[in-house]
Amino acid sequence: MKYEVAIVGCGPAGIFAALTLVEHGIERIILFDQGGDLEKRRRNDPRDVLCGWGGAGAYSDGKLNLSTEVGGYLSEFLSVNDLRELLRMTDSIFVRHGAPDRIFGDVPASVEEIDDQASMAGLEFIPTMIRHIGTENCQLVLNNIRKFLEGKVEVCTGCQVHSLLEENREIRGVKLADGRIIESNFVITAPGRVGANWMKGEAESLGLKMAVSPVDIGVRVELPATILKKITDVTYEPKLIFYSKTFDDKVRTFCMNPYGEVVTEETDGIVTVNGHSYAERKSENSNFAILVSSNFTEPFRDPIAYGRYIARLANLLGGGAIIQRLGDLLAGRRSTQDRIDHCLTTPTLKTATPGDLSFVFPYRHLQSIIEMLQALDKLAPGVFSRHTLLYGVEVKFYSNRIEVSRDMETKVKNLFAVGDGAGITRGLLQASASGMIAARAIVSRIK
């Protein structure tokens, strides 16, 4: 049978595209994901963490960032007001399917106070409003959506899409890894970060233009939650930017998880670190990433390869992720299990190997990370402690940004590219919203 719309990827972008199509009465929709269905996914299997129903969103922290400047580049496609409206609408769909009511960062006086203190510490503070779903509730919300879509769309989990089929610059469907051809009038690709390499390969073979973005490389920092409590109680996730003194590189905090846990994830056989937190289950620690942006122009133009190289080096030395106390890093020695055991911060990730991150990071990155930690210590005393834990490496592969129209359509007619995998977004809410934009465009063409 010929489908109306085929969607590659069941992460938030693909799911919200499907929800929008269904809402407008579109039939014959098929979704593919190389990973398993929600109940078959196992959190402790690094491949399952990113793939399957819910995509990377399933075990994410579930922070829905309502600010238009954060989480992607949709502000380049829509006016600020339209984007704000779209994000609100996307957010309300999450709430309809079970996301909690509370929003952080909506008390102006407390936010202003943090802003003032950040300025004095040499940090730029970006105020954001956040709804925190929490990891366990992400499962609930995604399950509710899955049930809602039951019988309205066809969902093929454990199905990898091998390639996109095009004829005379118009999409015809997709070819699956098992050789089956699926014909479809429209295709929405939403393969996420885990599928960024696949997307890049397909874009190259279809002759689609791509822009190279910086790669963000850094560490996940873990410390007692009390150190950041005053800030995280108000904002949940403070977005802080710093320009390093030595290199003038842009360094930023990312994905703060109060009372959360550090986790590993695996992309194409490379293990990196990340973090999340539950709505109810609390650890004693908070974690966040410090990322350094690196850009390349000539002759090297492959930031993904650079990020992978650094992550692979950490894997080579540590057999996976590496953990080090800040005190050991500053003293020029590796962390050992014994040193980690008597560290005042108890690591929430037990599988990281105690080691030496100075063997992994270029001097430029390490210096920028240390300077950022010093600046953060002025805002939240205790951050630059010997007992602060650093996990390496965290890499954000946002790199290749596919050229798309305001409708998220590529230069191949009826082929749409959305979400993190197309380099257009970097977070749950904008990824979901980008799927909705593509779906709306398809609806208007069909009707």
Ligand X SMILES: Cc1cc2nc3c(=O)[nH]c(=O)nc-3n(C[C@H](O)[C@H](O)[C@H](O)COP(=O)(O)OP(=O)(O)OC[C@H]3O[C@@H](n4cnc5c(N)ncnc54)[C@H](O)[C@@H]3O)c2cc1C
Which residue type occupies 21? L
Stretch that binds ligand X, among 8-16, 164-172, 369-377, 396-404 (CB under 6 A): 8-16
- Position among 431, 433, 436, 437 found at the interface with ligand X (CB under 6 A): 431
* Cα 296 from Cα 390, distance rounded (Å): 26
Decide whether 11 or 392 has the Cβ nearer to ligand X.
11
- Position among 8, 86, 380, 404 found at the interface with ligand X (CB under 6 A): 8
DSSP-derived 3-state class of residue 444: helix
Q: What CA–CA distances, in Å, run from 421 to 31, 38, 77, 91? A: 16, 20, 17, 21
The set of residues, in sequence order, having a beta carbon less than 8 Å from that of 209 and lying 6+ positions away, is: 402, 403, 411
Decide whether 160 or 367 has the Cβ nearer to ligand X.
160
CA 132, chain centre distance (Å): 15
Residue 266 dihedral angles phi and psi, to the nearest 5°: -125, 125
The answer to whether residue 351 forms part of the interface with ligand X (CB under 6 A) is no
- Position among 17, 30, 46, 55 found at the interface with ligand X (CB under 6 A): 55
Stretch that binds ligand X, among 26-34, 245-253, 358-366, 397-405 (CB under 6 A): 26-34
Cβ distance 251 to 291 under 8 Å?
yes
Decide whether 191 or 347 has the Cβ nearer to ligand X.
191
- Position among 46, 57, 307, 354 found at the interface with ligand X (CB under 6 A): 57
- Position among 5, 18, 20, 34 found at the interface with ligand X (CB under 6 A): 34
In the chain, the N- to C-terminal Cα span, in Å, equals 21
Cross-strand partners of 293? 216
Decide whether 276 or 334 has the Cβ nearer to ligand X.
276
> By CB under 6 A, what part of segment 180-199 binds ligand X?
190-195, 198
Given the structure tokens 């009372």, which residue do they identify? 259
* Cα 173 from Cα 181, distance rounded (Å): 7
- Position among 7, 18, 30, 62 found at the interface with ligand X (CB under 6 A): 62
Total Cβ atoms within 10 A of residue 356: 17
The answer to whether residue 238 forms part of the interface with ligand X (CB under 6 A) is no
Decide whether 275 or 318 has the Cβ nearer to ligand X.
275
Cβ distance 164 to 199 under 8 Å?
no
Q: How far is the CB of 59 from ligand X (least distance, A)?
A: 6
- Tell me, what DSSP letter sits at residue 358? G
Binding string to ligand X for residues 116 to 155, with x set by CB under 6 A, is what? ----------------------------------------
Binding string to ligand X for residues 69 to 108, with x set by CB under 6 A, is what? --x-------------------------------------
Decide whether 71 or 258 has the Cβ nearer to ligand X.
71
Nearest to 190 by CA among 432, 417, 434, 428: 417
Q: How far is the CB of 14 from ligand X (least distance, A)?
A: 6
Cβ distance 378 to 122 under 8 Å?
yes
- Position among 308, 419, 433, 437 found at the interface with ligand X (CB under 6 A): 419
Where do the H-state alpha helices sit in 108-195?
Answer: 108-120, 135-149
The answer to whether residue 61 forms part of the interface with ligand X (CB under 6 A) is yes
The answer to whether residue 33 forms part of the interface with ligand X (CB under 6 A) is yes
Q: How far is the CB of 65 from ligand X (least distance, A)?
A: 6
**DSSP for 7-38, written as a single string:** EE--SHHHHHHHHHHHHTT---EEEEESSB-G
The answer to whether residue 334 forms part of the interface with ligand X (CB under 6 A) is no
The answer to whether residue 63 forms part of the interface with ligand X (CB under 6 A) is yes
Q: How far is the CB of 435 from ligand X (least distance, A)?
A: 7
Tokens of 324: 């080090």
Which residue type occupies 164? L
Given the structure tokens 């050229």, which residue do they identify? 403
- Position among 75, 110, 144, 160 found at the interface with ligand X (CB under 6 A): 160
The answer to whether residue 438 forms part of the interface with ligand X (CB under 6 A) is no
Cβ distance 416 to 202 under 8 Å?
no
The answer to whether residue 260 forms part of the interface with ligand X (CB under 6 A) is no
- Tell me which residues touch ligand X (CB under 6 A): 8-14, 32-35, 50-52, 55-57, 59-63, 65, 71, 160-161, 190-195, 198, 255, 263, 265, 274, 276, 419-421, 426-429, 431
